[in-house]
Chains A and B, each alone.
Chain A
Amino acid sequence: MATGTKQTFPAGIGVEFQQVEKRYGVRFALRGISLRIAAGESVGLVGANGSGKTTLLKVAARLIRPSAGKVQFSSAETSVVSMVGHSILLYDDLTADENLVLFARLYGMEGSRERAAAALESAGLGGRGADLVRTFSRGMRQRLSIARALLPGPGLLLLDEPATGLDAAGQQWLGETLARLRAQGCTLLMSTHGRSETHALLTRAVRLEAGQVAKDSGPSGDPQRVLATALAAPQEA
Chain B
Amino acid sequence: MALLRPTTILLGKELRSEFRTRELLTTTWVFVLTVLVLFSFTFDPTQAESRRFGPGLLWLALLFAGSLMLHPSFAREQVNDTLAALRMAPIEPVSIIASKILANLCFLLVAELFLLPIFAVIYNLSLVPILGQLVLVLLLGTLALSTVGTVFSAISSQARMRELLLPLLLLPLLAPALIASTEATRGLLEDPPVLSLPWTGLLAAFDIIFLTVTWLFGEYLLEE
Q: Which of B15-23, B58-66, B132-140 contacts A (4 or more CB under 8 A)?
A: B15-23
Total A-B contacts with CB atoms under 8 angstroms apart: 67
Q: Which of A5-13, A90-98, A202-210, A220-228 contacts B (4 or more CB under 8 A)?
A: A90-98
Identity of the chain A residue whose Cβ is nearest the Cβ of B23 in the assembled complex:
A93
A71 at the interface (CB under 8 A from B): no
A108 and B87 CA atoms in complex are apart in Å by 15
Q: Are B87 and A63 in contact (CB under 8 A)?
A: yes
Q: Are A102 and B9 in contact (CB under 8 A)?
A: yes
- Residues in A whose Cβ lies below 8 Å from that of B175: none
Q: Are B90 and A89 in contact (CB under 8 A)?
A: no
- Residues in B whose Cβ lies below 8 Å from that of A92: 79-80
Q: Which of A75-83, A176-184, A187-195, A211-219 contacts B (4 or more CB under 8 A)?
A: A75-83
Q: Are A63 and B224 in contact (CB under 8 A)?
A: yes
Within 8 A of B (CB), among A93-121: 93-94, 98, 102-103, 105-108
Contact among A64, A90, A93 for B20, CB-based, below 8 A: A93
Identity of the chain B residue whose Cβ is nearest the Cβ of A141 in the assembled complex:
B80
- Residues in B whose Cβ lies below 8 Å from that of A58: 84, 224
A102 and B10 CA atoms in complex are apart in Å by 8
Interface size on B, residues (CB 8 A): 23
A65 at the interface (CB under 8 A from B): yes
Contact among A86, A93, A98, A148 for B85, CB-based, below 8 A: A148
B191 at the interface (CB under 8 A from A): no
Q: Are B89 and A90 in contact (CB under 8 A)?
A: no
Closest CB-CB distance, A199 to chain B, in whole Å?
A: 25
Q: Are B81 and A89 in contact (CB under 8 A)?
A: yes
A38 at the interface (CB under 8 A from B): no
Q: Are B81 and A91 in contact (CB under 8 A)?
A: no
- Residues in A whose Cβ lies below 8 Å from that of B85: 89-90, 103, 148
Q: Are A105 and B9 in contact (CB under 8 A)?
A: yes
Contact among A61, A94, A108 for B84, CB-based, below 8 A: A61
**What 0/1 readout, one digit per residue, does chain B (76-109) give for beta carbons within 8 Å of chain A?**
0001111011111111000000000000000000
Q: Are B13 and A94 in contact (CB under 8 A)?
A: yes
Identity of the chain B residue whose Cβ is nearest the Cβ of A106 in the assembled complex:
B89
- Residues in B whose Cβ lies below 8 Å from that of A81: 88
Identity of the chain A residue whose Cβ is nearest the Cβ of B9 in the assembled complex:
A105
Given contacts A93-B20, A94-B13, A102-B9, contact A107 B89 (CB under 8 A): yes
A58 and B223 CA atoms in complex are apart in Å by 11
Contact among B13, B17, B88 for A82, CB-based, below 8 A: B88
Q: Are B17 and A94 in contact (CB under 8 A)?
A: yes
B141 at the interface (CB under 8 A from A): no
B149 at the interface (CB under 8 A from A): no
Closest CB-CB distance, B96 to chain A, in whole Å?
A: 10
B218 at the interface (CB under 8 A from A): no
Given contacts A58-B224, A92-B80, A102-B9, contact A83 B88 (CB under 8 A): yes
A residues sitting closer than 8 Å to B (CB atoms) are 58, 61-65, 79, 81-83, 85-94, 98, 102-103, 105-108, 148
Give 8 pairs: A residue, B residue, CB < 8 Å, sorted on A: A85-B81, A89-B80, A90-B80, A93-B21, A94-B13, A94-B17, A105-B9, A106-B89
Question: Assuming A61-B88, A83-B84, A92-B80, what are 5 further A-B pairs, CB within 8 angstroms?
Answer: A61-B84, A91-B13, A92-B79, A98-B16, A107-B89
B residues sitting closer than 8 Å to A (CB atoms) are 5-6, 9-10, 13, 16-17, 20-21, 79-82, 84-91, 223-224
For the complex of A and B, the 3 pairs showing the least CB-CB separation, nearest first, are A79-B90, A87-B81, A89-B85
